[in-house]
Chains A and B, each alone.
Chain A
Amino acid sequence: MYDTPNTERDVDQKEIKIEARGVQVFYGTTHAIKDVDVDIEDKTVTAFIGPSGCGKSTFLRCLNRMNDTIDICRVEGKIEIDGDDIYDKRVDPVQLRAKVGMVFQKPNPFPKSIYDNIAYGPRIHGLAKTKADLDEIVEKSLRRGAIWDEVKDRLHAPGTGLSGGQQQRLCIARAVATEPEVLLMDEPCSALDPIATAQVEELIDELRENYSVVIVTHSMQQAARVSQKTAFFHLGNLVEFGETGKIFTNPEDSRTESYITGRIG
């Protein structure tokens, strides 16, 4: 069932967007990520798969320094985006997060109107000079989030009033609104039904044209459907990383094979 990968899989070598070397993460005394090296390409969807607690979400949160908000978390090693070390002392995590957008597991729209949800990031970062600019950004983001047609008549209704799938697309549109270069998605479909999942997956495929997308998922079908590259994490180690087609059809490591065939996990 995994041997139906995307037919037009792009296998050209692309520019490296994120380069991680020797990343170690500790939660207090727990060693959550052990010596992970990974290269994430630009304009590519990279999927992180692995059993629960294997550290894939933790690693994802290292990429925009969201782990900084957790007191007991400590990150070692080097992560470079476009050649700049994001854990350098001179880097402002706030600026970094504008450049590396994030979508969470559960849709988390703010208790504000749909318009204000989207305009939140642009306002904070001063991306719009006039009200017209802001309107344009909001419309463009909602279109990119593939939700414009559904909400264009009720932009000032609360974002929390949308359905789960719409909320998640709203959150994606919100992340896109700050013009990020990388989009991190932490199990974006786990709270959605199959139809909403299909819509979001389609959206992820479209987003690939402009962004480097990293997605954490529990669904191997989803990884096979949307990603070009796949990384398999197990017990804090990056076991295998490579072309999605290869990982799912001809994995090198026996652990990967066991996981994708359902023997461990």
Chain B
Amino acid sequence: MPVLWLILIVLVIGAVGFVIGRQKALGSAGGDSRELHSLPTYYGSNVFMKVVVPALLLMVVWLVVQPLMIENTISKMIPDSEIDAGSNLGLVMAEVRRAAEGLDNAVAAGAISEDMARNARADFTDMTTRLKDAGQIVTSEITQPILAAAQQYRISTSRGSLLMTIAVIAVALAGLAWAYMQTHKDFRARNVVEQGVLAILISAASIAILTTIGIVLSLIGNTVAFADLYGVGLLVRELGHEEIARIVAADPELAAKLGQDYSDIEFGMEYYSGWARSWAGLADFFTNLDWAPSFSGRGGASSLGIIPLLWGTLYISVVALVVAVPIGLFAAVYLSEYASNRVRSFAKPMLEVLAGIPTIVYGLFALLTIGPILMSVFGDNTVGWMQGQRAVLTAGIAMGIMLIPFVSSLSDDIINAVPQAMRDGSYGLGATRSETIRQVVLPAALPGIVGAILLAASRAIGETMIVVLGAGAAARLSLNPFEAMTTVTAKIVSQLTGDSDFASPEALVAFALGMTLFLMTLGLNVFALYIVRKYREQYD
């Protein structure tokens, strides 16, 4: 039974529960709602909640766990011989799932009968042709074990779904019975419903936190894998081929483990401890001043140092903030202190429209407008400082323009929140508008403004598309803002696009870069919070 139907059934049971729960409560009070402990709706909601929440929770858990368990059983059915060299269990399992899906579709289309799809002794060549005829793509000719696994997969899945349907409906009915029994005029339904609402809100908050933790954990796993692979490559290259041969020759135990033909990397994996490899990898990652990934071949000598990328990120972000902070702040001051209501109601939404423009469009703007303008001012025809349109300045200015509404809109709200009494006090002493703003309003709004700026900085650091289009792709450590540079985010994109082999340090480095970026923005946000708190204590 499709999940949607199941949800609908549970909801219908819940709705019925709502009505009968409400009725029973009213009945127990002799139809006089004033006799009840809570409003009649609360009794209904109590029943509804106890029907729907446990049932849907069970369903969600089941939907997550069932595929894992089936996968686990089925994968035991596949003999090692089915897994070719260069392939792995995951790929074979994908094949099984595709075959099972093909069988489902073929049955639905009437090309084969249900019995046939379930028949474990079905001839697999025949099955393959039938599947192909039914228009179901089967990559290679499916083999007997895969077909058997696929059949088993189908059977387990449909049995699981049936069990789930029964279990979920049973839980829903049990909840209905339980809550219905409870319902009585003295039952404190309101308190129970309030508790239930609290629980739902807490679980929503926990999901957000758990997701963050999940993201971090997935990054950590891949980051460690990168450090390991990259480190071992560095270590064995340092040793050299002859040295490795000598070490293996001197150590019979190691030689026995490695066998006849071993690669340097395999040697390194045996010879060095995990800590030593990861440490070597991370140390180089954070200290190497060179970024030169090589995609030429396995174990190619790549230099994967984050420093040039970090430098590019920070440089471009600083340029962006230098553009965005003064303009955004002045715009906010104008809007909140000087502009008349009519101008404000028109200009503020206009400014905020800027925030809705996709960043790729800003990238195009950088490439088509800002770059050429900068070239005409600083290019070969004049002072000759700028060699190409893609430069730190090009991307920085575009990013700054992108951040203006961010800074101005947040600052505007914060400036508006400064009490009018402060301004009156200042005007009453004979201060002018700008004196009042400079000396009273802005200092009072400072913590919020700092928060806004740091938030903008976080966005600048994480920005990708403008950099890809505007700043170029060359990782470079230079102070010249007219040179092309690149950032961490742009490199994450380029390392993971195209045919990437997830087992190479050149691809895995993207996760290490992502992790570093995550930690940086996390640090920045923590710092922003700290600043805001510190000033708040002083001013309230």
List residues of A whose CB falls within 8 A of some B CB: 64, 66, 69, 71, 94-99, 101-104, 106, 108-112, 120-121, 124-125, 158, 160, 171, 174-175, 178
Contacts and interface: CB of A to CB of B under 8 A. Distances in A.
The winner among A102, A108, A120, A125 for most chain B CB atoms within 10 A is A108
Contact of A158 (B423, B425, B432, B538): B538
Given A66-B428, A69-B427, A124-B429, 8 more contacts: A66-B427, A102-B428, A111-B440, A111-B443, A158-B539, A160-B540, A175-B429, A178-B429
A104 B429 CA distance: 11
B538 A178 contact: no
A110 B435 contact: no
A120 B426 contact: yes
B162 interface: no
The winner among A94, A111, A112 for most chain B CB atoms within 10 A is A111
Contacts of A94: 430-432
B12 to A, nearest CB: 57
B32 interface: no
A178 B440 CA distance: 17
A71 to B, nearest CB: 7
A64 B435 contact: no
A141 to B, nearest CB: 12
B430 A124 contact: yes
Contact of B429 (A71, A97, A158): A97
Contact of B425 (A64, A96, A104, A178): A104
Given A112-B443, A158-B539, A98 B425 contact: no
The winner among B340, B341, B539 for most chain A CB atoms within 10 A is B539
Contacts of B539: 111, 158, 160
Interface string B417-447: 0010111111111111001000110011000
Nearest to A71: B340
Contacts of B428: 64, 66, 97, 101-104, 175
Interface of B: 340-341, 419, 421-432, 435, 439-440, 443-444, 538-540
Contacts of B538: 111, 158
A213 to B, nearest CB: 15
Contacts of A158: 538-539
17 contacts: A69-B423, A69-B424, A94-B430, A98-B429, A98-B430, A101-B428, A104-B428, A109-B425, A110-B422, A110-B440, A110-B443, A112-B443, A120-B426, A120-B439, A124-B430, A124-B435, A125-B430
Contacts of B435: 124
Nearest to B419: A108
Contacts of B431: 94, 120-121, 124
A68 B419 CA distance: 18
A180 to B, nearest CB: 9
A249 to B, nearest CB: 34
B421 A106 contact: yes
Contact of A66 (B419, B424, B444): B424
**CB-CB nearest 7 A-B residue pairs:** A98-B430, A102-B428, A108-B421, A97-B430, A111-B539, A121-B429, A108-B425
The winner among A71, A94, A95, A110 for most chain B CB atoms within 10 A is A110
Contacts of A96: 430
B456 to A, nearest CB: 24
B484 to A, nearest CB: 45
B429 A120 contact: yes
Contacts of B440: 110-111
The winner among A124, A125, A160 for most chain B CB atoms within 10 A is A124
Nearest to B418: A111
A104 B435 CA distance: 20
B424 A104 contact: yes
A110 B439 CA distance: 9
Contacts of B340: 71
B435 to A, nearest CB: 6
A145 to B, nearest CB: 14
Contacts of A178: 429-430
A13 B342 CA distance: 50
Nearest to B431: A124
Contacts of A66: 424, 427-428
The winner among B340, B341, B428, B430 for most chain A CB atoms within 10 A is B428
A46 B356 CA distance: 57
B449 to A, nearest CB: 13
A128 B538 CA distance: 28
Nearest to A112: B443
A150 B419 CA distance: 27
Contacts of B419: 108
A177 to B, nearest CB: 8
Contacts of A110: 422, 425-426, 439-440, 443-444
A121 B444 CA distance: 17
A106 B340 CA distance: 27
Nearest to B340: A71
A112 B444 CA distance: 9
A27 to B, nearest CB: 15
Contacts of A98: 429-430
A112 B538 CA distance: 9
A195 to B, nearest CB: 23
Contacts of B443: 110-112
A71 B430 CA distance: 18
Contacts of A97: 427-430
Nearest to A158: B538
A50 to B, nearest CB: 21
Nearest to A96: B430
A102 B423 CA distance: 12
Contacts of B540: 160
B339 to A, nearest CB: 11
A210 to B, nearest CB: 17
Contacts of A111: 422, 440, 443-444, 538-539
The winner among B421, B430, B439, B539 for most chain A CB atoms within 10 A is B430
The winner among B426, B427, B540 for most chain A CB atoms within 10 A is B427
A71 B339 CA distance: 11
A95 B425 CA distance: 15
Contacts of A160: 539-540
B502 to A, nearest CB: 54
Nearest to A125: B430
A14 B150 CA distance: 108
The winner among B425, B439, B440 for most chain A CB atoms within 10 A is B425
B26 to A, nearest CB: 48
A112 B425 CA distance: 13
A157 to B, nearest CB: 10
A95 B431 CA distance: 9
Contacts of A64: 428
Nearest to A102: B428
Nearest to B445: A111
A108 B424 contact: yes
Given A111-B538, A158-B539, A160-B540, A174 B429 contact: yes
A106 B420 CA distance: 11
A95 B435 CA distance: 14
